[in-house]
Amino acid sequence: MENLWRAATFQAPDPDDYAGVEFWAEPERAGWLSKQGDYIKTWRRRWFVLKQGKLLWFKDANVTRLSEPRGVVSVGRCLTVKGAEDVLNKPFAFEVSTNQDTMFFIADSEKEKEEWINSIGRSIVQHSRSVTESEVVDYDSKR
């Protein structure tokens, strides 16, 4: 509920959501995308940074240690990333989906769209929480 309130009042995300991520240095991928708002469905151009399993966005490209993200998504929670031109009827569109939400983005070119989809897809695989140690069943001890 707190995240919903923060979004509704246009507040920055909780710093705990990106703690330990040096988003200002050596990102896995960074660049301009247009993002559809979560609640007010307008398109805004934002600077995106993919780093350490987090997709963060900022108002401008001058990202420093003191910058505050406008939003952040943990890609480990994402289920799919795929093209969405047919859904939005807009060129270079793609979507990122979690089990709760789908976010839409528009890149500047087909090449940029494909590069973002590939980068986010790789990050999803690297950071997905498929099986944790506590979920592994030791079948030998059950005998």
pLDDT tens track for 104-131:
999 999 999 999 999 999 999 998 765 4
Q: Tokens representing 11?
A: 């507040």
Residue with more model confidence, 108 or 11: 108
CATH number for the domain running over 2-129? 2.30.29.30
Q: Give the pLDDT band (50/70/90) at residue 142.
A: very low
Tell how far CA 130 is from the center of its chain.
Answer: 18
- Higher-pLDDT residue of 3, 26: 26
Secondary structure (3-state) at 121: helix
Name the 3-class secondary structure at 15. Answer: helix
Query: Residue 35 pLDDT more than 50?
Result: yes
Alpha-carbon gap, residue 70 to 8, rounded angstroms: 13
Enter the pTM of the model.
0.80
- CA–CA separation, 134 vs 115, rounded Å? 35
**CA 27 → CA 38, 54, 103, 137, distances in Å?**
24, 10, 21, 36
DSSP three-state, residue 37 = coil
Name the residue among 127, 122, 113, 105 with its Cα closest to residue 52.
127
